[in-house]
Amino acid sequence: MFDKILIANRGEIACRVIKTARKMGVRTVAVFSEADRDALHVLQADEAVCIGPPPSSDSYLVIDRILQACQDTGAEAVHPGYGFLSENAEFASRLDEAGIVFIGPQAHAMKCMGDKITSKKLARDAGVNTIPGHIGVIESAEDAVTIARRAGYPVMLKASAGGGGKGMRIAHNDDECRDGFERARNEARSAFGDERLFLEKYIEDPRHIEIQVLGDKHGNVIHLGERECSLQRRHQKVIEEAPSPFLDQATRTAMGDQAVALARSVNYESAGTVEFIVDRDRNFYFLEMNTRLQVEHPVTEFVTGLDLVELMIRIAVGEPLPLSQADVQFNGWAIEARVYAEDPFRGFLPSVGRLVRYSPPPESDSVRVDTGVYEGGEVSIHYDPLIAKLITHGATRGRAITHMREALNEFHVRGVSHNISFLAALIEHTRFREGRLSTNMIAEEYADGFQSSDVIHDDPALLIVVAAAIHRKYMDRAAGISGQLPGYERTVDDHWVVVMNGDQSPVEIRPVSGGCDVTYGNDIFHVRSDWQFGRPLFQGTVNGNEICIQVERRNMLYRLFHWGSQVDIMVLTGRAAELLACMPIKTPQDTSRFLLSPMPGLLTQLRVEPGHDVQSGQDLAVIEAMKMENVLRAERDGKVSKVLAAVGETLAVDQPILEYE
């Protein structure tokens, strides 16, 4: 076994590898950029080495600096995690030349499968089903249009070296094909240093289902079942689960057999994932093979009881697989939700800043949290905005969903925007509950974007009575202030008015042992809790049913977060409620004369100048954030009067870029 390994990565996956290495008694070395000096993986590792400035192209992607860190620390092996250099064949070869073990597949397999064009040819030769299309490099936008017409729209343009949804565009006509070619090529060049694209037929209503494979240095190859990864937004996975609610046993067996056959064809050694597109009739086609550990690997670990990182390390040492295909057992259901620093109510724009509050749900046999951040840490503009992966397990899919719903209620994040409301809405969506998934589901169900109306609480009475109980606790404390004049002590009335979403609801709040009895409408709600002032989670029972609601007191407001829904509630005296109804409503500031930056990012292109007439839908600027290009388009016709930002400038959220006349 290795004495010391270096982890050539950052964030949650670096922390994940450290966790297993520590369990195995293996010492770890973290590498970090200057932006990650105080990151969690740096704090957890036994040693840490700075490898350069914040941009990944100057730090985490520089092979020479990783090699130097290995030599300086005496690391015998490198685990690459996912992303960065994890599928870089040159990196694996350079490590081998330096006598350092790469904890992953051999360079030959990475080279074959890391290139999507080559991998499709190999898959076809290995008898694996492949998608109809053009397996070859496309040289120009016009060539793409010609090929797309021949294949028939819709088509998918993909970066040959791509992954993670970058360098991918769907085109339904010639104009989208030309524009998609340029966008995909630019993203591919920026993210992977390889602008080659290919094209294939786009499968309607597709599911994304992948097979986890393992191979060792002794010729043994097995699979660990499938993962359903169909819930995606812009080709990036949001929620994954194992097993798939769609596959029957015959299809599951056939997909597993083909995945193993493909891995055998390149003598695969380590953990890898063979991804398939599955149509509505359960026909499946090879998509790509990821020669690394997947982000969603924890769901497979939950249902198999295996530690994939440990197996990768043992395979790299030279140990044979400890089990055969017949030994693989599956237990229950697991679901993973990716918690991102992004604003789902503003087009999922990335959010950066300090985590003022960060408290994930406690881990248990049914809940797991993989994270690379901590309270007080920072989400950087330079890297992927993943905060954590929340994974739940249950004996059935229904139980796993219930655990996920409860865990999302307990996931407390403040300081940056996050997508927990969106995740909660997806978990509760009828199509998800019924397992009627496709990679188009999010686009279809939220065609106009994700709105606050998509997370309306289905039991507003619960929020009303909890807010009332919290308010009564505050009022009783205030009434106990010292120094009151005898005979004139403050008393608290039992009758109040709860104001939520503009509606006023009279309530009666009577303190009892362990909580309050709240009369709302014709019902009495028994609210019981040991909640104390300042706690972010109100945990207890309402009429005997367990609840967990996030709560913040903001002057006169109580902000409650539950089941993905966030509401601001006031609890007022009857007279104060009457006066509130007479207050004028403040109109929001008019910003229609400005083009505002919707996210923090780098302004890379500005396509208009003062005096230019613009039309609705016209491209105005391009902002690069989190390695993605974001095109800003005019929402109305007008004329540019001023340019307020310069190309190369780092923009803040809502910073003006242009002003119209």
Domain layout of the chain by residue ranges: 4-103, 117-126+208-331, 132-201, 332-448, 460-479+492-580, 594-660
On the question of pLDDT at 306 being above 90, the answer is: yes
Percent of the chain with pLDDT over 70: 99
More confident residue, 548 or 555: 548
Average pLDDT over residues 57-78: 97
Residue 627 pLDDT > 70: no
Does the structure show a pLDDT above 90 at 593? no
Model-level pTM greater than 0.75? yes
DSSP 3-state assignment of 37? coil
CATH number for the domain running over 332-448: 3.30.470.20
**pLDDT value for 543:** 97
CA dist 127 and 123 (Å) reads 6
pLDDT (average), residues 481-497? 94
8-37 residue pLDDT tens: 999 999 999 999 999 999 999 999 999 999
Fold of 117-126+208-331: D-amino Acid Aminotransferase; Chain A, domain 1 (3.30.470)
Neighbours of 189 (CB within 10 A): 15
Confidence of residue 205 (pLDDT cuts 50, 70, 90): confident
Whole-angstrom distance, CA of residue 402 vs CA of residue 405? 5
- Quickly state the pLDDT bin for 99 (edges 50, 70, 90): very high
- Model confidence band, residue 115 (pLDDT cutoffs 50, 70, 90): confident
CB 660 within 8 A of CB 640: yes
pLDDT at 32: 98
Which pLDDT score, from 0 to 100, does residue 164 have? Answer: 65
Mean pLDDT within 460-468: 97
pLDDT at 352: 86
**Over the stretch 384-429, which tens digit does the pLDDT of each residue have?**
899 999 999 999 999 999 999 999 999 999 999 999 999 999 999 9
pLDDT at 654: 87
At the top level of CATH, the class of 460-479+492-580 is alpha beta
Residue 626 is predicted with a pLDDT of 66
Least confident of 114-118, 157-161, 207-211, 246-250: 114-118
What percentage of the chain exceeds 90 in pLDDT? Answer: 79
Q: Which of 288, 301, 336, 342 is catalytic?
A: 288
State the pLDDT at residue 201: 85
pLDDT for position 209: 98
Mean pLDDT, the chain, whole residue set = 94
Can you tell me the mean pLDDT for 303-326? Answer: 98
Q: Write out the two tokens for 426.
A: 């997806």
132-201 under CATH 3.30.750.24, yes or no: no
**Mean pLDDT in residue range 309-334:** 98
125-178 per-position pLDDT tens digit: 999 998 877 777 899 999 999 999 988 898 999 888 876 677 889 999 999 999
Is the domain covering 594-660 a CATH 2.40.50.100 domain? yes
Instruction: Give the least confident one: 194-208, 456-470, 473-487, 571-585.
Output: 194-208
Task: Specify the pLDDT at position 587.
Answer: 82
Which pLDDT score is estimated for 434? 96
Rounded (5°) CA angle 545-369-343? 85
Q: Which of 309, 299, 286, 235 is nearest to 126 (CA)?
A: 286
CA–CA distance, 466 with 459 (Å, rounded to integer):
12
- Parallel/antiparallel/unpaired status of strands 236-242 and 357-359: unpaired
Give ∠ CA 40-45-49 in degrees, rounded to 5.
90
**168 touches 184 (CB < 8 A):** yes
Tokens of 559: 């902000």
Three-class DSSP category at 386 = strand
CB 118 within 8 A of CB 265: no
Nearest to 305 by CA among 350, 368, 231: 368
Q: What is the pLDDT of residue 222?
A: 98
The DSSP bridge partners found for residue 78 are 6, 102
Query: Do 4-103 and 332-448 have matching folds?
Result: no
Give the list of residues 6+ apart from residue 596 with CB closer than 8 angstroms, or none: 654, 655, 656, 657
The reported pLDDT for the residue numbered 528 is 98
The Cα–Cα gap between 133 and 116 comes to 13
- 355's CB contacts (< 8 A; 6+ apart) are 373, 374, 375, 376, 377, 378, 379, 387, 413, 414, 415, 416
Residue 661, pLDDT score: 84
CATH code of the domain made up of 4-103: 3.40.50.20
200 catalytic residue (yes or no):
no
The pLDDT score that the predictor gives to residue 630 is 83
